[in-house]
Chains A and B, each alone.
Chain A
């Protein structure tokens, strides 16, 4: 049985059907005029041989072409792209089945930050009354490592609401190079969570090593096809409207290997996309459609997700403002476009502008987490633990986010109104009204332990103290003390023998021997 996610019965939509059609038409026009600049020769050739108009627009040292994608190529691709995409997992009960027409949401971590934020609690004494001492969290940023990634995957394995894993930290150890980064990040993730693992690829040269590792772990090539325990994200289009040379090649190669892929675009309204909603929507939709079209031209039927990470520019420093309400508006619009095309949607929420866990973080995160979830994207990259845009990851924050998603999931349960329920409660009403005390409390009991009632916020302090961070920290330690099911010893040893470049400190069995 795959994971259940949460079905949004009546998804929230911002645009009317007419507006959706307007965006679609505008995107089709953009794909044709101006079209996209392609820095990738092979993609250009693929488009050309399928009837797209191509013209060289560059000097010989930096070759690029203008590709005008005709409407029927796009429509064909939309036709052949699967409406249902399955993402497998080491534990098959953790696999995800996503249907583009069904607004069933799965919650996912990610994505790669450079800074890992350690937390510890220190006592502070009140100056005017030294008897009063409080514990205050202190945050210590540092560069992320591969062992941090193991820990992140370990924690995410135990976060109840988290459905799939995108690595939240960039591994920056001295012995990690471009040539061994991919195998190490995939192995560190796969070995510490039994949920689905998705990531971007750093070096195309590593693709086959990664795929072969996945085959070993899944139990063979056919098994991997049937249970794709890994998948990839590619941002092949750089906004506005440019096929990047290397990521486009990555997409082509992944499609050839038949693994699921996210075609994602991340325009920033105001700088790399128009600031107006209609404008950024027309552009991002064109960019994603261009990627989807290419994926289907390379290999018909490639499982592909409509990936959207639109944001608004901060006007004080032009960085991405994920906390801005407009970012959620754009994301929700993209979910609606993906549903219009019946493609499963990779969407974004939860990223915030603040640098440490705290009140602003909770406000910004919950705001987009709730709203974007309500729109019903299938694969919601909701950034458990991310802070400071895409720069910092903090385990403690991930634990707090899990609590938010539990509330959101609870809220989205279907309404409990039926004739049987009504009849039953009418009986209750008549009974209670006839008693002197007129209280319904006794009827709570049968529901109390059945999971039908929500429980108080898990990090509520005693009395009047706000102790949220300290309590979440306790929870975090408790989750990390629970074991994870690693890849078995025999497979691990094959992986280390057959896949070059994996750091020996990631071998949990070797380490145990040393101890």
Chain B
């Protein structure tokens, strides 16, 4: 029985069905429970949060990623699955906190002061959440002091900064300087992204990584984790 639920959950992740109202790819699934309902059901059946995450959610996302690489899936498919997994993670959060199972890590993301571009940043948020990270999105045009304050208070493992303008990318360097001044720089890995920035720029301002897109970000974060382990 519990295997059935896990298999169904995984299949629904692959189908990108968050709730029973979502259309997946397979029309036969219309109206049947989606990822959120099945996660709830799994918890009621006393399946552990860890099992749900590793055997259904992450395993499902793995398949989705493979399908994307093979050009069988498009960005909207990836996002639908990631959103579904993100929703499941919200449900699982209290259970994770109660047990000692950790999420993959806390991730703060923001578009820097002076910049209102957020499409890319939002996509990154959805994908990271779907990949199992606990994401806190501060929004756009976020003042440097606020970012530094939250890093100090919330102690994330990662800080993601987005800037699309050549005039606002310099703010990223200022944030890194401010983190140093507050003694926080070595407590958090800083990732940057957006049309204006590059690998070279990341090195120049002393960021830990530059990411071309959200998928790249997931790989970079996983690599960080392996480094640590």
Residue A130 CB within 8 A of the other chain? no
Of all chain B residues, the one with the shortest Cβ separation from A445 is B76
Q: Can you list the 8 inter-chain pairs with the closest CB atoms, starting with the nearest?
A: A437-B122, A444-B76, A446-B23, A445-B76, A441-B76, A441-B79, A445-B80, A442-B80
In Å, the complex CA distance between A449 and B15 comes to 13
Number of A residues near B (Cβ < 8 Å) is 11
Interface 0/1 of B125-145, CB less than 8 Å to A:
110000000000101000000
* B60 vs chain A, min Cβ distance (A): 16
B residues in contact with A449, CB < 8 Å? 25
10 contacts between A and B (CB under 8 A): A436-B122, A436-B137, A437-B122, A437-B126, A438-B122, A439-B79, A442-B76, A445-B76, A448-B76, A448-B77
Which residues from 8 to 25 on chain B have a C-beta closer than 8 Å to any C-beta of chain A?
16, 23, 25
In Å, the complex CA distance between A254 and B145 comes to 88
Taking a contact as CB atoms under 8 Å apart, the answer to whether B74 and A442 are in contact is no
Which residues from 40 to 88 on chain B have a C-beta closer than 8 Å to any C-beta of chain A?
74-77, 79-80, 83
Residue B119 CB within 8 A of the other chain? yes
In Å, the complex CA distance between A438 and B122 comes to 9
Contact of A439 among B23, B74, B119 (CB under 8 A): B119
* A413 vs chain B, min Cβ distance (A): 20
* A337 vs chain B, min Cβ distance (A): 46
A residues in contact with B76, CB < 8 Å? 441-442, 444-445, 448
Number of B residues near A (Cβ < 8 Å) is 18
In Å, the complex CA distance between A442 and B16 comes to 10
In Å, the complex CA distance between A88 and B118 comes to 57
Interface 0/1 of A74-117, CB less than 8 Å to B:
00000000000000000000000000000000000000000000
Q: Please judge, given known A-B contacts A437-B122, A437-B125, A449-B25, whether A442 and B83 are in contact too, CB under 8 Å.
A: yes
Taking a contact as CB atoms under 8 Å apart, the answer to whether B77 and A445 are in contact is yes
In Å, the complex CA distance between A240 and B119 comes to 63
Of all chain B residues, the one with the shortest Cβ separation from A440 is B76
* B47 vs chain A, min Cβ distance (A): 27
Taking a contact as CB atoms under 8 Å apart, the answer to whether B23 and A445 are in contact is yes
Of all chain B residues, the one with the shortest Cβ separation from A435 is B122
B residues in contact with A436, CB < 8 Å? 122, 137, 139
Of all chain A residues, the one with the shortest Cβ separation from B17 is A445
Taking a contact as CB atoms under 8 Å apart, the answer to whether B75 and A441 are in contact is yes
B residues lining the A interface (CB < 8 Å): 16, 23, 25, 74-77, 79-80, 83, 118-119, 122-123, 125-126, 137, 139
In Å, the complex CA distance between A445 and B139 comes to 26
A residues in contact with B83, CB < 8 Å? 442
Identify whether the interface residues of B are mostly helix, strand, loop, or mixed.
Answer: helix
A residues lining the B interface (CB < 8 Å): 436-439, 441-442, 444-446, 448-449
B residues in contact with A441, CB < 8 Å? 75-76, 79
* B115 vs chain A, min Cβ distance (A): 16
Of all chain A residues, the one with the shortest Cβ separation from B83 is A442
B residues in contact with A444, CB < 8 Å? 74, 76
B residues in contact with A446, CB < 8 Å? 23
* B71 vs chain A, min Cβ distance (A): 10
Q: Please judge, given known A-B contacts A437-B125, A437-B126, A439-B119, whether A448 and B74 are in contact too, CB under 8 Å.
A: yes
In Å, the complex CA distance between A442 and B77 comes to 8
Of all chain A residues, the one with the shortest Cβ separation from B23 is A446
Of all chain A residues, the one with the shortest Cβ separation from B139 is A436
B residues in contact with A437, CB < 8 Å? 122, 125-126
In Å, the complex CA distance between A391 and B25 comes to 48
In Å, the complex CA distance between A31 and B80 comes to 68
Of all chain A residues, the one with the shortest Cβ separation from B77 is A445
A residues in contact with B139, CB < 8 Å? 436
Of all chain B residues, the one with the shortest Cβ separation from A437 is B122
A residues in contact with B118, CB < 8 Å? 438
In Å, the complex CA distance between A441 and B126 comes to 12
In Å, the complex CA distance between A445 and B24 comes to 8
In Å, the complex CA distance between A441 and B25 comes to 15
A residues in contact with B74, CB < 8 Å? 444, 448
In Å, the complex CA distance between A323 and B25 comes to 45
Of all chain B residues, the one with the shortest Cβ separation from A439 is B122
* B109 vs chain A, min Cβ distance (A): 12
Of all chain B residues, the one with the shortest Cβ separation from A449 is B25
In Å, the complex CA distance between A364 and B123 comes to 40
A residues in contact with B126, CB < 8 Å? 437
B residues in contact with A439, CB < 8 Å? 79, 119, 122-123
B residues in contact with A438, CB < 8 Å? 118, 122
Of all chain A residues, the one with the shortest Cβ separation from B25 is A449
* B77 vs chain A, min Cβ distance (A): 7
Of all chain B residues, the one with the shortest Cβ separation from A453 is B74
Of all chain A residues, the one with the shortest Cβ separation from B121 is A437
In Å, the complex CA distance between A437 and B83 comes to 11
* B151 vs chain A, min Cβ distance (A): 21
In Å, the complex CA distance between A439 and B79 comes to 11
A residues in contact with B75, CB < 8 Å? 441
In Å, the complex CA distance between A442 and B75 comes to 10
In Å, the complex CA distance between A439 and B75 comes to 13
A residues in contact with B23, CB < 8 Å? 445-446
A residues in contact with B77, CB < 8 Å? 445, 448
In Å, the complex CA distance between A436 and B122 comes to 9
Of all chain B residues, the one with the shortest Cβ separation from A436 is B137
In Å, the complex CA distance between A442 and B80 comes to 6
A residues in contact with B137, CB < 8 Å? 436
In Å, the complex CA distance between A446 and B123 comes to 19
In Å, the complex CA distance between A441 and B76 comes to 6
Q: A439-B79, A444-B74 are in contact. List 7 more A-B contacts (CB 8 A).
A: A436-B122, A436-B137, A438-B122, A442-B80, A445-B23, A445-B76, A445-B80
